[in-house]
């Protein structure tokens, strides 16, 4: 130690840690008490449902190697503790199946990706003994309404296979087809129409699915006005503020929906649609494996790719009359 440093050490006042720690302890206690009191005040007003954890697991969607252990554990635990757990409705009247059939994206591709990611949960829920697929929430939405609004065609296929009513009306008279049209969900519209949904039905405002789609498509095409067009600066002049939230793919999707509603696609069997779904699922898992690269050995990627090819061939063989453009991506 140098002379200066020794001098400094001698000069430094002796720190009294005791009172400081005591004060900190008092502050922490006050804080903890305040937090606890707030939590207590919240309890009478808080919505809690035994399915909360299950729903959050579904929304998180962590399927690894084709299974989600946490989900299975939660299902088993819930079934043990709560009667009719799988059909338990939360404060909005939604069951876990309805939650699995819901997502909220403007980009239709993101909705499709989520749809594929959720298929595991939908299958598991539908395979649970005693599940009531026809259950409605407080506004009369079935799980199919949610899937149609969200743009989840594969979930819709599974629900329809499980026996859900394709033309079920909510309390405002909206059918799943109307919701798909309203949101411009082309793929769901095609599934519903090809499986026999009634496109002539009207809601309580007297509007058909076609009218709802047309109204919204107009709104999307109107937003074309470019905000910084006057600047004539390349890039900035093309900047459209609305595109930050409304994916351009949605507009094309509206046009496709309207076309489907006016021309009506060829009737298809659920089996054909399910094969398309399996192909999409295999494609997604192959893409995931490719993207991850690390850990995934080449053989598993090749195996996945082989499944994709095999699954993609299947619908083509079973439904040769279907135009390629009408197939789900």
Partner 1 sequence: MSNTPQKSNPLFKYFSEFGVLKDCGKNFWLTNFIQFFDGLSYFTLIIVFTLFLNKYCGFKDADAPYWVGMYTLFISMFVFAVGTICDIIGLRRTYLIGFILLIGGRVILGMGTDFGTEICGLTQESSRYFVMAGITIMSFGTAFMSPCISTSIRRFTTLRSRPTGFNFYYLFMNIGALLAGFAIVDPLLAWQGDVDGLLWVINFGTCCNVIAFIFTRFIDDDFYAVPEEKLNKKETATRRPLQLICEVAREKAFQKLIVFLLLTLGVRLVFTLQFLIMPQYYTRTIGDDFQLGFMNSINPFIIITGLILIIPILNKFSTVKLMISGMSISALSLVLMAVPPEWYFIIPGIETIGQAYFVAIFTQIVVFASGELLFSPRFSEYVARVAPKDKVASYMSLSALPMFIAKPVNGVVGGLLVSYLCFDGIAAKMDTGHIDFWHSPEFMWTIYLCMALISPIAIILTKDSFVSDHPEEDAEAKDDKAGIAEEKAEPEAC
Residues 6+ apart with CB under 8 A from 112: 151, 152, 153, 187, 280, 329
Q: Should residue 39 be labelled a site residue for partner 1 when binding is judged by CB under 8 A?
A: yes
Cβ density class 16-53: b for 16+ within 10 Å, e for less: eeeeeeeeeeeeeeeeeeeeeeeeeeeeeeeeebebee
Q: Which of 53, 167, 211, 307 is in the footprint of partner 1 by CB under 8 A?
A: 53
Q: Which of 6, 31, 196, 202 is in the footprint of partner 1 by CB under 8 A?
A: 31
DSSP-derived 3-state class of residue 64: strand
Site residues (CB under 8 A) for partner 1, limited to 99-128:
102-107, 110, 113
Cα of first residue to Cα of last residue in the chain, in angstroms, is 74
Q: Should residue 275 be labelled a site residue for partner 1 when binding is judged by CB under 8 A?
A: no
Q: Should residue 11 be labelled a site residue for partner 1 when binding is judged by CB under 8 A?
A: yes
Q: Positive or negative CA dihedral for 160, 166, 168, 173?
A: positive
**By CB under 8 A, which span of 128-136, 218-226, 267-275, 308-316 interacts with partner 1?**
218-226
Helix, strand counts (H, E) of the chain: 14, 0
Q: Should residue 74 be labelled a site residue for partner 1 when binding is judged by CB under 8 A?
A: yes
Of 219 and 236, the one with the shorter C-beta distance to partner 1 is 219
**By CB under 8 A, which span of 29-37, 273-281, 282-290, 317-325 interacts with partner 1?**
29-37
CA 297 to chain centre: 30
Q: Which of 10, 19, 83, 320 is in the footprint of partner 1 by CB under 8 A?
A: 19
Q: Minimal CA–CA distance to 193: which of 183, 182, 178?
A: 178
Q: Are 324 and 312 in contact (CB under 8 A)?
A: no
**By CB under 8 A, which span of 11-19, 153-161, 260-268, 297-305 interacts with partner 1?**
11-19
Q: Should residue 34 be labelled a site residue for partner 1 when binding is judged by CB under 8 A?
A: yes
Site residues (CB under 8 A) for partner 1, limited to 132-151:
139, 141, 145-146, 149-150
Of 172 and 269, the one with the shorter C-beta distance to partner 1 is 172
Q: Which of 9, 15, 263, 299 is in the footprint of partner 1 by CB under 8 A?
A: 15
Q: Are 147 and 159 in contact (CB under 8 A)?
A: yes
Q: Minimal CA–CA distance to 326: which of 235, 194, 210, 217?
A: 194
Site residues (CB under 8 A) for partner 1, limited to 146-205:
146, 149-150, 170-172, 174, 179, 182-183, 205
């Amino acid at each position: 130690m140098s002379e200066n440093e020794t001098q400094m050490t001698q000069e430094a006042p002796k720190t009294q840690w005791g009172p400081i720690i005591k004060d900190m302890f008092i502050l922490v206690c006050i804080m903890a008490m305040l937090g606890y009191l707030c939590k207590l005040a919240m309890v009478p007003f808080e919505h809690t449902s035994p399915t909360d954890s299950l729903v959050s697991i579904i929304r998180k969607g962590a399927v690894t190697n084709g299974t989600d252990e946490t989900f299975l554990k939660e299902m088993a635990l819930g079934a043990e503790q709560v009667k009719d757990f799988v059909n338990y409705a939360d404060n909005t009247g939604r069951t876990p199946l309805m939650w699995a059939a819901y997502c909220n994206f403007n980009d239709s591709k993101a909705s499709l990706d989520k749809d594929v990611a959720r298929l595991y949960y939908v299958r598991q829920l539908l395979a649970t003994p005693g599940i009531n697929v026809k259950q409605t929430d407080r506004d009369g939405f079935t799980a199919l309404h949610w899937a149609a609004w969200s743009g989840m065609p594969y979930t819709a296929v599974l629900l329809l296979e499980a026996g859900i009513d394709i033309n079920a009306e909510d309390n405002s008279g909206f059918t799943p087809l109307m919701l798909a049209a309203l949101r411009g969900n082309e793929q769901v519209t095609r599934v519903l129409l090809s499986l026999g949904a009634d496109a002539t039905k009207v809601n309580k405002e007297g509007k058909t699915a076609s009218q709802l789609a047309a109204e919204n498509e107009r709104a999307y095409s109107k937003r074309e006005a470019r905000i910084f067009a006057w600047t004539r600066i390349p890039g900035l002049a093309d900047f459209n503020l609305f595109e930050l939230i409304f994916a351009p793919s949605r507009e094309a999707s509206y046009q496709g929906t309207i076309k489907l509603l006016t021309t009506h696609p060829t009737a298809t069997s659920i089996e054909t649609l399910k094969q398309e779904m399996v192909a999409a699922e295999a494609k997604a898992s192959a893409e995931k494996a490719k993207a991850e690269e690390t850990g995934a050995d080449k053989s598993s990627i090749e195996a996945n790719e082989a499944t994709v090819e095999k699954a993609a061939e299947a619908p083509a063989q079973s439904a040769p009359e279907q135009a390629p453009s009408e197939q789900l991506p």
